[in-house]
Structure 1
Amino acid sequence: MRTLLGPRLGVGFNRLWTASAVSNLGDGVTMVAGPLLLVSVTSSPALIAGGAIAGQLPWLLFGLISGAYVDRLDRRRLIIVVNLIRAVVLTVLTAAIATGHATVPLIYAVIFVLGCAETAADTAAGALLPAVVAPQHLDRANARLGATFTVINQFAAKPFGAWLYGIAAAVPFGLDALTFVIAAALVATLPLSRPAVTSETPAPRRSLRAEISEGLQWLWRHPVLRATAVAMGLSNIVFCAAFAIFVLYARDRLGLSAVGYGFLLTAFAAGGLIGSLVAVPLTRRFGATAILRADLIVESAVHATLAWTTSPWIAAGALVLFSTHGMMWGITVATLRQRVVPPHLLGRVGSVYALLESGGAAAIGSLIGGLLAGVWGLTTPFWLASAAMAAIAVGAWRPLRHATTLTNHSRYA
């Protein structure tokens, strides 16, 4: 717990942390209420699935563009404006639900706008963190944000959202709108220890394509960050390929009921919380290189375990380990990126990681997993994911050798 409770990271981080906690509560509530709302207005599986697509599409269309604007604009103001836009959109949806005018096209439109806003807000928040936290404390700051996301978004918000929806369908969305207003107000009061965008001599404005290209080229020329980005993108493809059919795996392979499946999913949240607690002390003890290499090995082993076992208890243990390592990887890579990427490129470089995590990789992996399971059985995606992660570990092993040195000796420290 010392990782999360000390040292003090300053007033600026506390306000950003609180804003993150409040918006995570709203996001988690809407994550549950959104599908329930769609089910209430349509019984079409295709239309219900379309809601998920509407939320993923913005990352594919605008993820890299948002990164460029994060580097162009004042990041604090951008977060404020985007949060207020999200509040307005959710207020419109709340009113439509309350008056009986909610329709599938309206719900799609709201989900799409929220997704577009997320591409800007999430990227800007990651790029803003080094402006409110000293470089030597970035790992602790990322750990606290990760723990907050896990506890509030994964544990508390979802049952709370379902309960609120049971009271009245409009209530969860109205609450989410209010959380964005509160988050915007908190971000507006941030005292920045350094400029939100750092540039000693402002460069002339160029085309979006040129600015995006600059971020991509910088990332590709950096061997350690290139290795982590490629490894993350490929691992997300194989992860989504394996877990696209996880509900069937739990039922047919592990013999679990719907309730058992729900409990199994809590293993992800439990592991994420553990990872947020141990990431900083383990990284400081063994170094970022060892942690990142171990994470790749663990992921390969977890996929193999899930392919092999028929025991729900072993599967649950594997999932706890999986999400523990996933949180450790995320905290370590985010800290590394924030310490070594020049401030004026943080938005563009960060948007590449967000795209690999939230956009195309998930869609590609889900499609592959469904096809493989349908032809060769439920365990095939897990066996292939294990083999793929072993190959990814071999490919990334040597490039990751300088991760510890870079994490400990930032040029911006």
Structure 2
Amino acid sequence: MATLFRESNVIKFYRLWVSTASSNFGDGLLRVLLPLLALAWGASGFEVSVVVASSYLPWLFGSLLIGVFVDRLNRSTIIRAANAIRVLATFALLAVTVADLASIPLLVALALVYGVAEVAADLSSQSAVSQVVENEQLESAYGRISVSQVVANTLVGPAVAGLLFGRTQAAVIGLICACYVVAGLSVPATPDSDQDTPKPWAPRQIWRELRIGVSAVTSHSWLRRAALSVGVMNFASGANAALLVTYAVSPGPLRLTTGEYGLLLAALGIGSMTGSAVAARVTRLLGESHAVAVGVGGLLTTIAAPGLSDNVWVIALLMTAGSAVGTLFGVKVISMRQRSVSNELLGRVNSAFQFVGIGSAPLGATFGGLLASMVGIRPVFLLLSAVAALTVLLLRPWRREPVSVAA
């Protein structure tokens, strides 16, 4: 362990690891709870898509500004504040559920609050890793964190939420609250901003710093192409996430119970957990470029899976295999990006990258819902995965030239 982390920061890394895992467990529970609540409250397929899109919308409208704060303020403080907001939002959701005040607009509003807190916590956590891990070991560190994120967010979280939802919604909400409490309490103290002198908080200065982060991504070919590639695939993934619950849960075509739906989503977690565990070794075997290219193929398979078969076992198998291979893309792109950017600019570059990469998800969720209302759900899975495949082939994110970005 001493070869991986700075000796004085071993405990800090473990605490950050626990905080990230707990936060992602809560996110995984919430990812299943919100659309299931919408369905239980009588939402249409399009309204479910809007609820799902709302949780991603802050990545589109807030990530760039939040990235500036991540570089200016103490990152552990931001993580604690974000989790405190999540706890308050969860209490509000519990009160609404217990009082039986079913309201889709209220669910959308809470999804937006959760989304803002998620942006702040995720950008801060991702940027904080480089403060406790040696630069040459970032890939191994992100691989370890990725395993815990995958297990919590896409394996255990969805399965537990689906199984508990059919029995008691309040238990799921209470568990989500506990996750965010643990995430806030376990986060370690991190160094303050690397800025030598405090910078003014004038809007013009904030806007200038925001533009520096955006320019750092747009002015470098690989960062730009990688961000656009992630954005295109998350556009398709956003549609997939919004439509899958309506397609899978009874009275949808697959006619699954909420518990079975949670287990279907857990197939993604099983694959991603396996892929994360071996990502570093597979990358050494294939090389960076080939690992990224193979990972793209895996992600596209996962997106297309519900459209390739109406057999739930085949869909689960394709999702498991696709997510296992697709993890190569995520781990490699993150580690390559983090190695290329100086710490004082990391929050803004990450936010600009995620603005494109994750900000496209709510657009995909909304577009997918509209398109499905016209042509049906299953063709949308195939159409968007095909468009994503053609676009990524043109962008070629696996072709990387040397990049070094500093403020």
Under TM normalisation by the shorter chain, which class is it? Answer: 0.7 to 0.9
Q: C-alpha deviations, 1:102-145, integer Å up to 9, x for none?
A: 75554443332221111111111111110111212211221122
| Paired letter, 2:28 | G
Task: Summarize the Cα distance change of 1:325–1:356 in structure 2 as closer, same or farther, 3 Å threshold.
Answer: farther
| Paired letter, 2:172 | P
SS for the counterpart of 1:86 is: helix
Fraction of identical pairs, as percent: 29
Which residue is equivalent to 1:232? 230
Please say which of residues 14-23 and 377-386 is displaced more in the overlay. Answer: 377-386
Task: Summarize the Cα distance change of 1:303–1:212 in structure 2 as closer, same or farther, 3 Å threshold.
Answer: same
How far apart, in 1, do the equivalents of 2:217 and 2:382 lie? 30
How far apart, in 1, do the equivalents of 2:306 and 2:170 lie? 39
Which residue is equivalent to 2:123? 123
Q: C-alpha deviations, 1:245-300, integer Å up to 9, x for none?
A: 5568779xxx8542676655443222111210121112233332221123335556
Contact conserved, 1:297 with 1:393, CA < 8 A, in 2?
A: no
How far apart, in 2, do the equivalents of 1:384 and 1:36 lie? 24
Unaligned regions of 5+ residues in structure 2, if any? Answer: none
Contact conserved, 1:130 with 1:138, CA < 8 A, in 2?
A: yes
Task: Summarize the Cα distance change of 1:381–1:374 in structure 2 as closer, same or farther, 3 Å threshold.
Answer: farther
Which residue is equivalent to 1:12? 12
SS for the counterpart of 1:170 is: helix
1:216 Cα shift?
A: 0.9
Which residue is equivalent to 2:151? 151
How far apart, in 2, do the equivalents of 1:177 and 1:300 lie? 33
How far apart, in 2, do the equivalents of 1:240 and 1:33 lie? 16
Which residue is equivalent to 1:59? 59
Task: Summarize the Cα distance change of 1:318–1:88 in structure 2 as closer, same or farther, 3 Å threshold.
Answer: closer
How far apart, in 1, do the equivalents of 2:309 and 2:30 lie? 34
Which residue is equivalent to 1:291? 291
1:51 Cα shift?
A: 2.9
| Paired letter, 2:232 | L
Which residue is equivalent to 1:218? 216
| Paired letter, 1:198 | D
Please say which of residues 285-294 and 65-74 is displaced more in the overlay. Answer: 285-294
How far apart, in 1, do the equivalents of 2:83 and 2:311 lie? 44
Task: Summarize the Cα distance change of 1:118–1:300 in structure 2 as closer, same or farther, 3 Å threshold.
Answer: closer
1:92 Cα shift?
A: 3.8
How far apart, in 2, do the equivalents of 1:227 and 1:60 lie? 18
* 1:198 to 2:194 alignment: yes
Q: C-alpha deviations, 1:220-256, integer Å up to 9, x for none?
A: 12222122111111222344456765568779xxx85
Which residue is equivalent to 1:352? 352
Which residue is equivalent to 1:33? 33
* 1:172 to 2:178 alignment: no
1:97 Cα shift?
A: 4.2
Which residue is equivalent to 1:43? 42
SS for the counterpart of 1:197 is: coil
Which residue is equivalent to 1:68? 68
Q: 1:258 aligns with which of 247, 256, 271?
A: 256
1:319 Cα shift?
A: 2.3
Mark the structure with the bigger radius of gyration. 1
Contact conserved, 2:240 with 2:381, CA < 8 A, in 1?
A: yes
SS for the counterpart of 1:43 is: coil
How far apart, in 2, do the equivalents of 1:323 and 1:280 lie? 16
Unaligned regions of 5+ residues in structure 1, if any? Answer: none
Which residue is equivalent to 2:135? 135
Task: Summarize the Cα distance change of 1:123–1:137 in structure 2 as closer, same or farther, 3 Å threshold.
Answer: same
| Paired letter, 2:224 | R
Contact conserved, 1:373 with 1:379, CA < 8 A, in 2?
A: no
TM-score (norm 1): 0.80
How far apart, in 2, do the equivalents of 1:378 and 1:169 lie? 29
Q: C-alpha deviations, 1:189-222, integer Å up to 9, x for none?
A: 43x4xx4532345555543322221111111122
Contact conserved, 1:247 with 1:261, CA < 8 A, in 2?
A: yes
TM-score (norm 2): 0.81
How far apart, in 2, do the equivalents of 1:159 and 1:93 lie? 20
1:306 Cα shift?
A: 7.3
| Paired letter, 1:290 | H
Contact conserved, 2:71 with 2:344, CA < 8 A, in 1?
A: yes
Which residue is equivalent to 2:399? 400
- Report how many aligned residue pairs link the two structures: 396
Contact conserved, 1:79 with 1:184, CA < 8 A, in 2?
A: yes
| Paired letter, 1:344 | E
| Paired letter, 1:183 | A
Task: Summarize the Cα distance change of 1:203–1:288 in structure 2 as closer, same or farther, 3 Å threshold.
Answer: farther
Please say which of residues 387-396 and 272-281 is displaced more in the overlay. Answer: 387-396
Which residue is equivalent to 1:318? 318
Please say which of residues 21-30 and 242-251 is displaced more in the overlay. Answer: 242-251
SS for the counterpart of 2:194 is: coil
Task: Summarize the Cα distance change of 1:400–1:62 in structure 2 as closer, same or farther, 3 Å threshold.
Answer: same
1:356 Cα shift?
A: 2.8
Which residue is equivalent to 2:270? 270
SS for the counterpart of 1:285 is: helix
Please say which of residues 205-214 and 237-246 is displaced more in the overlay. Answer: 237-246
Please say which of residues 371-380 and 169-178 is displaced more in the overlay. Answer: 371-380
Contact conserved, 1:94 with 1:171, CA < 8 A, in 2?
A: no
Contact conserved, 2:147 with 2:273, CA < 8 A, in 1?
A: yes
